[in-house]
Chains A and B, each alone.
Chain A
Amino acid sequence: MDVPKLSATERLILDLLSGEEMFGLQLVEQSKGALKRGTVYVTLGRMQDKGYVESWTEKQADGAIGLPRRLYRPTAYGMRVREAWAAAERSLRGLKPRHA
């Protein structure tokens, strides 16, 4: 079975989303330049396909104009993958070559 992959950007998004649900533009603002406005939705779409996040459109007030924004939150599976990768990273950090 394939190991679930988690890129650095996907991990950052899961970190930012860990406490709450957010819009894409909020993620861009909170990432302090690490996430780009032009690419965040492509990454979020990919993460949704992988099952790491779920999304839904906001409820618009009566008379609101334009398209509704999309809200994102991590799934339990996404959080487990994040934890697993964090644990793997911690373990790998402790490893050193024998001759060192």
Chain B
Amino acid sequence: MMIPGRTLHRLAARLCTAKTLGQIIEPAIADLQKEYAAAELAPALQRVRILTVGYLAILEVTLMCALERPATTDGERRAIARIVVWSVGLTAVITALLMLVPLSIVEARPSSLFLAGLISQAVPLAIPIGLTLGIALGLTGRAVTSGLRRIILLSAVLASLVCFVTLAWVMPAGNQAFRESVARAAGITEPLTKGPNEMTFSELDRQATIAAAAGNVRKASQYAWSFHLRFALSVASIVLAGFLLVTSVRGMRVFIALGSCFAYWVLIFVGQELAVFSSVAPAFAGTTPAVVLGAWLPNIVLAAGMLLALSRSSRLRGSWTTAT
């Protein structure tokens, strides 16, 4: 049986003090584990709900610990509070906007399963965008101190964990439950074949191997690209937040945040083209390096930009130090 929260516990052990870990984080993880174990025979949707509620509670606990510990000045606390408010608000708005198009297609009143399926698809995209814009707006007119930088990066790591859990378990289970409910309503009783979005990591890996063995390169690379993209998308929050902090120029942060989010989104499609459909280099498409490179392309490009900006700023600081 799966024991949730083990990775989170290992991560928290590195980030928090022993006292915070023992008094605050571990009891919250223990609650989630006991609840999940008690619901072993419950329907999948109920277990997904337990995981979501439990992980959100742990996220909130960890964020509060981050707010209580490293931020030392009132200004830093106010900045963090503003970032949290902007990020949560924008994530909710972006999730709603991403759901608008599918909702407009449905004529009947959407069921809760339909909405759960849509939310689980929208959240992994909405969180990195909401967090990046939230950081930019929360820091308006404020210099970034090392304390703020530490808390922002910690928040980005937590946001990435939420995205990973959503992409790995919540989204596949939510999508499949939604499709089954629609099929049942239409009188279809046969089991439904899962698409890439409804598959877990192990199922995607198995399907990619089967398709490759059958000689269907395009299908195999599509499954493999979906597999790697879920990992790559999970770290989008860290990459986008890091890029914004490194390239941050007061007065330009919101534009940089918007530009980097847009670039990330465009690069996902460029990466898919490279990995699966490449008309530029057909011999390269479908190979393992192409699939991995295609899925991780947005992170690689932004990380390279981050390193470039870091080396430039240290060169500038060096020349300034020499001049003075």
Mark out the residues of chain A between 63 and 91 whose CB falls within 8 Å of any chain B CB in the assembled complex.
65-70
Most buried by A among B33, B37, B53: B33
The stretch among A1-9, A12-20, A36-44, A92-100 that forms the contact with chain B is A36-44
B 42-68 binary contact with A (CB < 8 Å = 1; else 0): 000000000001001111110011001
Taking the nearest CB of chain B, how far is it from the CB of A73, in angstroms? 14
A69 and B61 form a contact (CB under 8 A): no
| Interface residues on chain A, size class | 10 to 19
Interface size on B, residues (CB 8 A): 28
Known: A37-B53, A42-B64. A67 touches B37 (CB 8 A): no
Contacts of B29 in A (CB 8 A): 66-67
Contacts of A25 in B (CB 8 A): 31, 35
B33 and A65 form a contact (CB under 8 A): yes
Known: A38-B61, A39-B61, A39-B64. A45 touches B33 (CB 8 A): no
B31 and A42 form a contact (CB under 8 A): no
Known: A45-B23, A70-B26, A70-B27. A38 touches B33 (CB 8 A): no
A42 and B27 form a contact (CB under 8 A): no
A23 and B31 form a contact (CB under 8 A): yes
> Which residue of the partner chain, among A24, A37, A38, A65, contacts B64 with CB atoms under 8 Å?
A38
B23 and A67 form a contact (CB under 8 A): no
Contacts of B61 in A (CB 8 A): 38-39, 41-42
B68 and A66 form a contact (CB under 8 A): no
B3 part of interface (Cβ distance < 8 Å) = yes
Taking the nearest CB of chain B, how far is it from the CB of A6, in angstroms? 19
Contacts of B30 in A (CB 8 A): 66-70
B218 part of interface (Cβ distance < 8 Å) = no
> Which residue of the partner chain, among A24, A36, A45, A65, contacts B1 with CB atoms under 8 Å?
A65
C-alpha spacing A23/B59, complex, angstroms = 19
A38 and B57 form a contact (CB under 8 A): yes
C-alpha spacing A29/B31, complex, angstroms = 12
Q: Residues of A at under 8 Å CB distance from B?
A: 23-25, 36-39, 41-42, 44-45, 48, 55, 65-70
Please, could you name 24 A-B residue pairs with CB atoms under 8 Å apart, sorted by A? A24-B27, A24-B28, A25-B31, A36-B57, A36-B60, A37-B28, A38-B56, A38-B64, A39-B60, A39-B61, A41-B25, A42-B61, A55-B23, A65-B37, A66-B29, A66-B30, A66-B33, A66-B34, A67-B26, A68-B30, A69-B27, A69-B31, A69-B34, A70-B26
